[in-house]
């Protein structure tokens, strides 16, 4: 067997550990190899568990198999192919990335396993010699087998498909795995009644807009409801000590696309998907995402309901978090959002419009803040006094191909293409990834402002659309022209909402002739001060060198958005480009 090739993680990760899992006892480097059976958790019923198979690495060559148990909600962090050491993720591995056109209709796929293929005389499709599993040809882990028009096929592990392609918020998957169907609907929807006129979704406060398409189809599409109910039934029908292999199927019918990382097997006729990185959405009408808002402007002060604050924060990069598997969080616990690997929406995106339903109410009384958490759990809140905070695992959306920041990147790449002899490099930058030229852009997330004396308007600006689970970011680009470095800073914009003007922010272009340490200090200063300036670079001009150009964006270009504007800004810096 050939050694695996290591690679850096491609997204900003927290240092998530599971101190009560066997994973912390894995001495040396172990690679996540396969997903095994699932079961209920008798000690914490709201936290289903899954067996994860590892292989010990010797000089990066996979060796003996061993299995550990982790919470299902955390499984996206344990991607197949990632390397762990004593409970800590230390590396990713290089794999082939391929996008496939598939058919999610029932005749476009089937459910199988290595054991099924062996019993049917088709072991060559998933040969033991090319991807060894502990149980060999007796392995019963379920796979979705997608047929291809050219006679080839794609194998996707069912458990991988469930935790990646159903919902980005793992609390949705956790609800499907632990609650009765009526309770599932109550957790997902504030009002599960179908509208006869439109795709109207009234979610609970725990749901997120990026899951709007899935939640809309679950409510309005009988086919989706049938498939999701089948998932739910597989879990709730089991006894507490029963292990089973999940059968997860596509949740909508029709042509689709999937983005896979994995390897070719079966003489190049079968692609084994080990990491599902993206999928397309079902086609259909626009979706209205209607949140609930209380208007207490005319209400009686203090006569409303008692509100127990549950502060929400996003875990920082490399922030240490201990997640327990056998205890549930306190019912009144702060929430920490842990970013799972990004998931890409392929093809055309459905239109989702946010609206609000206003309810008049009396002014509420506010209770005490929750105590600081000493440990964390992804389960449902119960009891008090454990000092166990709530974790939510959410897959971040990849930067949309038609988004503003992507357009800026494309404009810089276009400038490089048209000026090949003068422009030698175009890179994006984050402190973790340093300078990168690949197209999977990363932004620097702005740190929350903890100072209670700071105005709420300023503190809220750090979050996109005021959503405390979505930190705003800054895109930092560097372009090298005639041997000189120029850096551009751009602010991530809010999502478009119905009947609301989304603020647009100017960019900054500056020539940088400094040491790496001075450049890092500049980036740190900009990302700190821009929060208090609420994205207005003109109000923090002193943070930049004197010749920095602060510019507004225009879209007069016919082919590449913002390209002409950037060329003109360079002209103002006496850098003439075509």
* Of 402 and 223, the one with more pLDDT: 223
In this structure, the number of other CB atoms found within 10 A of the CB of residue 78 comes to 20
Query: Hey, what are 136's tokens?
Result: 């060999």
Mean pLDDT, rounded, for 252-277: 97
Distances (CA, A) of 277 to 97, 174, 253, 345: 9, 20, 20, 9
Residue in the structure block whose two tokens are 């689970």? 469
Rounded distance, CA 241 to CA 284, Å? 42
Query: Hey, what are 163's tokens?
Result: 């935790």
**What pLDDT score does 222 carry?**
97
* Of 306 and 69, the one with more pLDDT: 69
Q: What is the three-state SS of 112-146?
A: ECHHHHHHCCCHHHCCCCCCCCCCHHHCCCCEEEE
Compute the 3-state secondary structure of the chain and give helix, strand, coil in percent, each to the nearest 5: 25, 35, 45
DSSP state of 82: -
**What pLDDT score does 292 carry?**
84
CB 73 within 8 A of CB 24: no
Above 90 in pLDDT, residue 438? no
**What pLDDT score does 317 carry?**
78
Above 50 in pLDDT, residue 520? yes
Reported as a pLDDT band with limits 50, 70 and 90, residue 500 is low
Rounded distance, CA 208 to CA 213, Å? 11
**What integer best gives the mean pLDDT of the chain?**
90
Q: Which among 405, 458, 451 has a CA at the least distance from the CA of 430?
A: 405
**What pLDDT score does 400 carry?**
40
**What pLDDT score does 401 carry?**
41
**What pLDDT score does 371 carry?**
86
**What pLDDT score does 397 carry?**
65
CB 395 within 8 A of CB 164: yes
**What pLDDT score does 303 carry?**
62
Query: Hey, what are 107's tokens?
Result: 């005749």
Which of the residue ranges 18-22, 111-115, 542-546 would you say has the lowest mean pLDDT? 542-546
* Of 17 and 438, the one with more pLDDT: 17
Above 80 in pLDDT, residue 241? yes
Angle in degrees, 0-180, between the axes of helices 212-220 and 222-236, rounded to the nearest 10: 100
- State pLDDT tens for residues 24-46: 999 999 999 999 999 999 899 99
CB 23 within 8 A of CB 325: no
Reported as a pLDDT band with limits 50, 70 and 90, residue 524 is very high
Above 80 in pLDDT, residue 304? no
CB 266 within 8 A of CB 124: yes
279-297 b/e with 16+ CB inside 10 Å = b? bbbbebeebbbbbeeeeee
Above 50 in pLDDT, residue 399? no
Angle in degrees, 0-180, between the axes of helices 181-188 and 170-178, rounded to the nearest 10: 160
Q: What is the three-state SS of 279-335?
A: EECCCCCCEEEEEEEEECCCCCCCCCCEECCCCEEECCCCCEEEECCCCCCCCCCCE
Residue in the structure block whose two tokens are 């002899």? 421
Reported as a pLDDT band with limits 50, 70 and 90, residue 497 is low
Strands 30-39 and 15-17: unpaired
**What pLDDT score does 501 carry?**
58
**What pLDDT score does 556 carry?**
56
- State pLDDT tens for residues 196-238: 999 999 999 889 888 999 999 999 999 999 999 999 999 999 9
Question: In Å, how far from its chain's centre is CA 33?
Answer: 22
**What pLDDT score does 9 carry?**
87
Kindly tell me the sign of the dihedral angle through the C-alpha atoms of 187, 190, 193, 195.
negative
**What pLDDT score does 34 carry?**
98
- State pLDDT tens for residues 538-561: 999 999 988 899 998 876 554 677
pTM for the complete prediction?
0.74
Q: Is 180 exposed, middle or buried (0-12, 13-18, 19+ CB in 10 A)?
A: exposed
What does the angle CA 354 – CA 358 – CA 360 come to, to the nearest 5 degrees? Answer: 165
Q: Which among 148, 52, 171 has a CA at the least distance from the CA of 100?
A: 148
Query: Hey, what are 60's tokens?
Result: 């990066």
Kindly tell me the sign of the dihedral angle through the C-alpha atoms of 445, 523, 12, 260.
positive
Residues composing the chain:
578
Above 80 in pLDDT, residue 362? no
Query: Hey, what are 210's tokens?
Result: 């990026």
What does the angle CA 478 – CA 568 – CA 576 come to, to the nearest 5 degrees? Answer: 75
Above 80 in pLDDT, residue 506? yes
Which of the residue ranges 150-159, 282-291, 353-362, 486-495 would you say has the lowest mean pLDDT? 353-362
């Amino acid at each position: 067997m050939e050694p695996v090739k290591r690679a850096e993680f491609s997204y900003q990760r927290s240092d998530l550990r599971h101190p009560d899992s066997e994973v912390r006892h894995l001495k040396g480097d172990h690679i996540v190899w396969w997903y095994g059976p699932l079961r209920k958790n008798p000690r914490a019923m709201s936290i289903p568990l899954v067996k994860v198979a590892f292989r010990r690495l010797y000089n990066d060559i996979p060796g003996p198999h061993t299995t550990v148990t982790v919470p299902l909600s955390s499984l996206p962090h344990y991607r197949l192919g990632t390397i762990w050491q004593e409970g800590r993720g230390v590396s990713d591995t290089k794999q082939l990335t391929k996008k496939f056109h598939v058919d999610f209709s029932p005749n476009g796929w089937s459910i199988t396993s290595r054991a099924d293929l062996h019993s049917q005389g088709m072991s060559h499709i998933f040969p033991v010699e090319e991807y060894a599993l502990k149980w060999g040809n007796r392995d019963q882990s379920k796979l979705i087998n997608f047929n291809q028009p050219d006679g080839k096929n794609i194998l996707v592990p069912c458990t991988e498909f469930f935790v990646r392609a159903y919902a980005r918020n793992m609390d949705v998957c956790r609800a499907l795995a632990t609650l009765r169907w009526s309770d599932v609907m109550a957790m997902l929807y504030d009002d599960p009644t179908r509208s006869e006129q439109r795709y109207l979704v009234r979610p609970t406060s725990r749901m997120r807009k990026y899951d709007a398409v899935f939640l809309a189809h679950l409510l309005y599409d009988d086919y989706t409801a049938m498939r999701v109910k089948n998932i739910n039934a597989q879990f709730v029908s089991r006894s507490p000590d029963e292990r089973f292999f999940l059968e997860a199927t596509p949740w909508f019918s029709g042509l689709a696309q999937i983005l896979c990382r994995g390897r070719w097997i079966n003489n190049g006729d079968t692609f084994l998907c080990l990491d599902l990185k993206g999928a397309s959405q079902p086609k259909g009408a626009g979706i209205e995402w209607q949140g609930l808002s209380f208007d207490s402007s005319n209400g009686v002060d203090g006569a409303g309901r008692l509100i127990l604050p549950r502060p929400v924060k996003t875990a920082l990069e490399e922030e240490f978090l201990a997640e327990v598997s056998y205890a549930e969080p306190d019912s009144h616990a702060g929430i920490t959002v842990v970013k799972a690997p990004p998931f890409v929406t392929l093809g055309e995106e459905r239109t989702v419009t946010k609206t609000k339903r206003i309810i008049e109410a009396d002014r509420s009384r506010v209770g005490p803040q929750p105590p600081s958490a000493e440990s964390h759990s992804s389960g449902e809140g119960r009891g008090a006094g454990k000092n166990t905070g709530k974790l939510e695992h959410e897959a971040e959306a990849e930067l949309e191909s038609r988004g503003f920041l992507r357009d800026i990147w494309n404009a810089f790449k276009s400038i490089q293409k048209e000026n090949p002899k003068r422009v030698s490099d175009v890179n994006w930058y984050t402190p973790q990834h340093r300078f990168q030229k690949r197209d999977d852009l990363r932004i620097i997330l702005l740190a929350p402002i903890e100072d209670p004396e700071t105005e709420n308007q300023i503190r809220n600006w750090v979050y996109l659309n005021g959503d405390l689970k979505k930190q705003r970011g800054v895109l930092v680009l560097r372009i090298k022209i005639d041997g000189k470095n120029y850096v551009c800073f751009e602010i991530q914009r809010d999502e478009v909402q119905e009947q609301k003007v989304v603020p647009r922010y100017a960019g900054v272009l500056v020539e940088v002739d400094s040491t790496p340490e001075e450049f890092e200090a500049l980036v740190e200063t900009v990302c700190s001060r821009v929060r208090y300036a609420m994205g207005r670079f003109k109000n923090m001009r002193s943070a930049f060198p004197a010749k920095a150009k602060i510019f507004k964006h225009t879209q007069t270009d016919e082919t590449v958005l913002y390209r002409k504007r950037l060329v003109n800004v360079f002209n103002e810096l006496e850098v003439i480009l075509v």
